[in-house]
Structures are given as structure tokens and as C-alpha cells.
Amino acid sequence: DQQVKQNSPSLSVQEGRISILNCDYTNSMFDYFLWYKKYPAEGPTFLISISSIKDKNEDGRFTVFLNKSAKHLSLHIVPSQPGDSAVYFCAASGGYSGAGSYQLTFGKGTKLSVIP
């Protein structure tokens, strides 16, 4: 049972345009969400996060939107650059899941290709 779903395995976007990566979750206990960027055989790099008390968080070219009622979040990258080409993972945490433990549940990832 996949609790975090990224339904698009891949996405191609023209350089300079907006990239929108989507993520859905099923577990109502999730209250903190993170996006990571990952290259093959390397560790995920933290991009941006949002807690469930917010519906938007912005950091430079990256904006994350959270729709709690729909259990949906999205990552917007504007403008997209060729260096953004990577696999993007959505991750969710239940916050304090057992004595302050932060366990991440990941989606399967979306491979973003930004075409020059």
C-alpha cells in the first residue's frame, strides 16, 4: 500500500518554462512534507519543505503547495533550468511518530528533464 504516490514517472519541460511535479498521499497522520532532488547513485538533496499548517512555501525558484483536503502537494520550479534535470522525490513525515522520531515515507519519484 503506497502511502505517498507520484503518479508521473517522468516529465519533460522546456528551459525557462514552469515545471510542476505532483504528489498525493493517503495517510492523514502525515503533517510534514519534503521534496528532494536526486542524481543516480547519490544521496537525495533537500530542496524545500512544508508543514501542514501552511498551504504554500517558497524558496527562490522553488514553491511547494499543499492542499490538505485533497491530500495533494505540488512542487513548482520557475523558471526551469537544464541543471534541474534529475529525479524528484516527494517525502512525508508523521512528525512525532514515536518519541520524536522522524521517519520519511517516499514516493517513487518523478524524473524531470529540462530541455534547452
* C-alpha cell, 102: 522522524
d(CA 104, CA 55): 20
d(CA 31, CA 42): 27
Contacts with another protein, residue ranges (CB under 8 A)? 32, 34, 36, 41-46, 49, 51, 89, 91, 93, 95, 97-109
d(CA 69, CA 88): 23
Pick 25 or 44: Cβ nearer another protein: 44
Pick 26 or 101: Cβ nearer another protein: 101
d(CA 11, CA 36): 16
Residue 45 C-beta: closest distance to another protein, Å: 7
Residue 23 C-beta: closest distance to another protein, Å: 13
Residue 114 C-beta: closest distance to another protein, Å: 23
d(CA 6, CA 14): 21
Pick 16 or 46: Cβ nearer another protein: 46
